[in-house]
Amino acid sequence: LSFMATTASAQQFRSLGNFGIGFSCGTRTAISNDGTTVIGVEVTASWQGNPPIYNSFYWKTGWLQLPQPITTIQILDKPAGLLNPSMAKDVSADGNTIIADAYLFGAGYRSYVWNQGTGGTITTSILPFNGNLGLGAQAVSGDAKKIVGLAFSQVYIWNQTTGQMTQVSNTTGLTVRPKAMSLDGEAFISTVFGFSDYEATYWDSTGGVYLSMGSLIPGHINPNSEGHDITPDGTMAVGFS
């Protein structure tokens, strides 16, 4: 069961509903900057030994004040040919663009973009990221013009305007997992995985290199840290250590 909290009048938790018998996996849940759109994955229990069903969902409302009518969650549309399981990953600042992965029979996972245009028209399109390992598109910029992701273990940035993918030079020599992008897509945070530890890093288009964000336990044999989110202007990030 997914929920959201609001600070209007008083802090409250609100259920977003579900698709029936199941629960929501919070590891991939995100909310738009204006609070009108929530995305996530619901894992529906199965019976008779069958595997569970993974459905990406979105929830939208035009009202932020309480009390408000509860809008039921909707299954996230997929491009033709893509199947479950699906994993919604990120949402743009205005809630109109969502990136997700879904399964293409015989070819593994593929990343795609879901967009709600003027008048509520919904379009979907498959992205060029290779998602065979479930590591395709990872984050979308707040303005929805850029998407960062992985293709063949290399980090790329896809530009919606030009339709081009640009490889980000890996200055660490290690495995990099992008997590979140700034509003304009000119900066993102990620986690770099070493042989026995992992570390939060920051990248922007000006410097073009991955910068360590440090650890709360400097000097420790395994000073692990992980980046989770970044502010719209790209000047601050949050994570854990």
Question: Judging by beta carbons within 10 Å of its beta carbon (0-12, 13-18, 19+), is residue 19 exposed, middle or buried?
Answer: middle
Which sign does the torsion angle of CA 11, 89, 94, 78 carry? negative
pLDDT at residue 119, as a whole number = 80
Residue type, 95: G
Q: Return the residue matching tokens 């629960």.
A: 23
pLDDT at 35 over 70: yes
Q: What is the pLDDT of residues 72-100, one digit of tens each?
A: 678 888 999 888 888 899 999 999 999 99
Read off the pLDDT of each residue in 66-76 and give the average, rounded to a whole number.
Answer: 63
* Mean model confidence pLDDT for the chain: 78
Angle at 85 between CA 113 and CA 116, to 5 degrees: 25
Strand 74-75, strand 154-159: pairing: unpaired
Q: What is the pLDDT of residues 166-213, one digit of tens each?
A: 889 887 888 888 999 999 999 998 888 876 678 888 899 998 888 888
pLDDT at 39 over 70: yes
For residues 140 and 181, the answer to whether their CB atoms sit within 8 Å is yes
How far apart CA 76 and CA 58 sit, in angstroms, is 6
Q: Is 78 helix (H, G, I), strand (E, B) or coil?
A: coil
Query: pLDDT category, 64, cuts 50, 70, 90?
Result: very low
**Peptide bond preceding 67 in cis form (omega within 30 of 0):** yes
pLDDT at residue 113, as a whole number = 93
Q: What is the pLDDT of residues 15-28, one digit of tens each?
A: 665 655 444 444 45
Read off the pLDDT of each residue in 121-147 and give the average, rounded to a whole number.
Answer: 82
C-alpha dihedral over 126, 190, 206, 112, to 10 degrees? 10
pLDDT at 1 over 60: no
Q: List Cβ neighbours of 49 (8 Å cut-off, separation of 6 or more).
A: none
Q: What is the distance, to the nearest Å, from the Cα of residue 221 to the centroid of all Cα atoms in its chain?
A: 31
pLDDT at residue 46, as a whole number = 61
pLDDT at residue 72, as a whole number = 62
For the whole model, what pTM was predicted? 0.82
pLDDT at residue 185, as a whole number = 94
